[in-house]
Amino acid sequence: MSMSLPLLTPTETVACCSPLLKQPIGADEAIRIAPLLKALADPVRLRLLSLVASHADQEACVCDLNDAFDLSQPTISHHLKVLHEVGLLDRSKRGVWVYYRVRAEALSALGTLLGGVVA
Amino acid sequence: MSMSLPLLTPTETVACCSPLLKQPIGADEAIRIAPLLKALADPVRLRLLSLVASHADQEACVCDLNDAFDLSQPTISHHLKVLHEVGLLDRSKRGVWVYYRVRAEALSALGTLLGGVVA
DNA sequence: TGTAAATATTGACATGTGTCTATGTCCGTG
DNA sequence: CACGGACATAGACACATGTCAATATTTACA
């Protein structure tokens, strides 16, 4: 957290468009970030995240998600677990149902790292 | 759209897409984007990308990169190939040396997809 | 209490991935 | 032309990952 880099040479300024590109990332930092990207780097999980976020109240129960894929229930459950474990999805149980919700801060932190700008 | 999206590289796909959270991403779209994230989802490749971008002129030759890691030369070559194949690194050979350069648009497109904002 | 529904966990399997050593290819130089 | 250096490719191997069927767990309700 919190690396402030005040003085930039012209070259550095040009290079600057994302924290990743501003300066060499540390080995430990890379090890910490990679699992987040790895969790996202699957088509099913990308769709799951997007589906949950697009759902009413930005949350969805597993029953809704299962129907959206041609995959077994345990497989969906597995993917949700992966996203939850890296902190991209919040999980709350209400009765028999389990609801997942996107942790937008986590996602946008990743986006910022890569240098994106919201349209 | 939907005229013909057959021949889009992963990079092109990301470049034109709305943020992941605004609407459910399509299955085909997810399949094209995931490889980009997968290429990034490795600590060594994250550092490679960052190192290349931080280098003078935003490009680096393999000889420089090899020294920065405690890995064999073929392993580094492999990772660079992965990053190159998804369009995150440009490659140019000059004499005996090969120089890699970050394709910043590709990265920032990904960032935008995830909803990040440059600080 | 017993049964059914919603999720999670387990175990198995095929496939993918990161790494290495060994070898190949391309290029400059003597 | 031959040699050496820079980088890529091939093959091998251990380990991780995505998927499923089977089973367990939790909860509501008759």
Percent with pLDDT over 90 in chain A = 71
Helix (H/G/I), strand (E/B), else coil: A48: helix
Contacts of B111 (CB under 8 A, 6+ apart): A18, A110, A111, A112, A113, A114, A115, A116, A117, B118
Residue B28 pLDDT > 90, yes or no?
yes
Give the pLDDT mean for B70-91.
98
- Cβ–Cβ gap A116/B111 under 8 Å: yes
- Comparing A30 with B108, the larger pLDDT belongs to A30
Locus of tokens 């597995």: A78
Structural domain contains residue B1: no
Q: Which residue does chain B place closest to A44, by CA atoms?
A: B30
Range with the poorest average pLDDT among A87-101, B2-16, B42-56: B2-16
Give the pLDDT mean for B42-47.
98
Q: What is the pLDDT of residue A18?
A: 73
Q: What is the pLDDT of residues A33-67, one digit of tens each?
A: 999 999 999 999 999 999 999 998 889 999 999 99
Residue B17 pLDDT > 70, yes or no?
no
Partners of B23 on chain A (C-beta within 8 Å) are 50, 54
Structural domain contains residue A4: no
Q: What is the CATH number of the domain that holds A95?
A: 1.10.10.10
Mean pLDDT of chain B: 86
Whose CA is closest to B8, among B27, B38, B31, B25?
Answer: B31
**Phi and psi at residue A91, to the nearest 5°:** -130, 130
Confidence of residue B116 (pLDDT cuts 50, 70, 90): low
Give the nearest partner residue to A50 out of B21, B51, B58, using CB atoms. Answer: B21
From B31's Cα to the closest Cα of chain A, the distance in A is: 5
Structural domain contains residue A55: yes
Confidence of residue B2 (pLDDT cuts 50, 70, 90): very low
Range with the poorest average pLDDT among A90-104, B2-16, B54-68: B2-16
Give the pLDDT mean for A69-88.
98
Q: For Cα atoms A68, A74, A76, give the angle at the middle one, nearest 5 degrees.
A: 35
Structural domain contains residue B72: yes
Structural domain contains residue A2: no
Q: What is the pLDDT of residue A6?
A: 36
Structural domain contains residue B22: yes
Taking the CA of residue B56 and the C1' sugar atom of nucleotide C5, their distance in angstroms comes to 61
Give the pLDDT mean for B62-68.
96
Give the pLDDT mean for B109-113.
90
Domain that holds residue A38: 10-114
Q: What is the pLDDT of residue A69?
A: 97
Q: Which residue does chain A place closest to B104, by CA atoms?
A: A17
Structural domain contains residue B5: no
Total domain count for chain B? 1
Structural domain contains residue B83: yes
- Cβ–Cβ gap B43/A49 under 8 Å: no
